Amino acid sequence: MRILFIAPHPFYQQRGTPMAVRLILESLSKRGHTIDVVTFPEGEEVEIARVKIHRVRKLPWIKNVPIGFSLIKVLYDLALLPKLFQLLRCNHYDLIHAVEDGVFLACIVKWCHGIPFVYDMDSSMVTQLIGKIKWLRAAKPVLDFFESLAVRQSLGVLAVCEALTQKAQRYAPNKKIRTLEDVPIMEISEPHLSIKLKSELGIEGPVVMYVGNLERYQGVDLLMKSFTRVIREAPQARLVMIGGTPQTVAHYKTVAAREGIARQAFFLGPKPVSDLQRYLGEADILVSPRIEGENTPMKIYSYLYSGKPTVATRLFTHTQVLDDEIAVLVAPQAADFAQGILSLISNPSRGREIGKKAKQRVEERYSLAAYERKLYLFYEEIIQTVNHARRCTQSLHE
């Protein structure tokens, strides 16, 4: 098929949704589909067979598009629409694949041109908006209506986790809705860096490692408070933070100093995805202290694949993938999170057993091969529906 792909974010960047988009583009390309991607002006150029990137014009006063909802993102979303119609005047498309809030642009295109679309539900826009702007809670029924409209107008939904699958099914029980989980990043990248983290940083004790952005919903404040308790009982332990922007890194260095762990916490900033496997290999314990959200953090699959034990909050964002056999799950409280870390520091053999089972689980359920199998089965269903509708239309015209 010829697919018009709406990616309303910077592309390509080494963060969750753009990485997921790259993976799906590469997978669809392998299947022989031709894809035009409409996206923001920011991002690295990537070469993917049968995929062409179309960027909207850069707004002169804007340097960086922040993660999550923002006025800047809304302005760029609006800028995508004329670019879409420009492409529609020049090309025929069989299907639109719309990621996150790009689905509302897909609805407009469908109403104007009759082109069906797939909703790539990488997160719940309602949850994101309410998490970012608290006073919008009063408008939740209205927001739910528009999100449900997007699901009902789609030809099918690809949800990134079970929580979003269940939400989409509540909106439209008879719709084609499938779960397509992320995969370990190490399966789609090759490491090229030799890392000896402990010797480089002068660490002699266990390394507790966090990987990801440093936004509030990730629970980084919870992690800082927890680690102050950890070093009271395990003074040789060190916290290594990978990810974040210069602004968020500076902020949490200040928080670490305030919590009295400035010397025990190392902030390395963002690192190339290709080196993630090497960094995870240097950890003794991996942590995901997320306190909000419904989708499973993309890093969880890489954590599991690394064979190192994970401590995570016992919330559905984690428990739809993690259980007590492959992770240490604790309440989202500083004392509980600290105790989870300390339980692994005091019992390394337990950590090794958890890590071994975790890697086995991800190889069985969340490998690249499993991902592509789920994606291709979903697209086969969509293609059959598109072709059937086309035959019906032709019969009516005859």
Amino acid (1-letter code) at residue 233? E
| Rounded average pLDDT over 90-115 | 95
pLDDT on residue 313: 98
pLDDT on residue 166: 94
- Rounded to whole angstroms, the Cα distance separating 340 from 319 reads 16
For 245: left if phi > 0, alpha if psi spans -120 to 50, otherwise beta; the answer is beta
pLDDT band at 29 (very low <50, low <70, confident <90, very high): very high
- Report how many helices (DSSP H) and strands (DSSP E) the chain contains, helices first: 15, 13
Percent of residues, the chain, with pLDDT higher than 70: 95
Tokens 């071994």 map to which residue?
A: 356
Structure tokens at 121: 């539900």
pLDDT on residue 64: 77
Sign of CA dihedral 20, 183, 157, 381: positive
Mean model confidence pLDDT for the chain: 91
pLDDT in tens, 34-72: 999 999 998 899 999 999 999 999 888 777 776 667 778
pLDDT on residue 31: 94
| Rounded average pLDDT over 116-131 | 87
Percent of residues, the chain, with pLDDT higher than 90: 72
Angle among Cα 298, 231, 280 to the nearest 5 degrees reads 30
pLDDT on residue 274: 79
pTM for this model (two decimals): 0.82
Does pLDDT of 241 surpass 60?
yes
Helices (H), the chain: 16-30, 71-90, 102-113, 125-132, 140-153, 162-171, 197-201, 220-233, 246-258, 276-281, 299-306, 316-319, 334-345, 348-365, 368-397
121 CB-near residues (< 8 Å, 6+ apart): 100, 151, 157, 158, 159, 160, 164, 168
pLDDT on residue 198: 86
pLDDT in tens, 269-302: 998 887 888 899 999 999 999 998 888 998 999 9
Which domains does the chain possess?
2-183+367-397 (3.40.50.2000), 187-365 (3.40.50.2000)
pLDDT on residue 295: 86
**Cβ atoms within 10 A of the Cβ of 59, count?**
14
Does pLDDT of 359 surpass 90?
yes
Helix (H, G, I), strand (E, B) or coil at 262: coil
Does pLDDT of 248 surpass 80?
yes
Does pLDDT of 238 surpass 70?
yes
| Rounded average pLDDT over 248-272 | 94
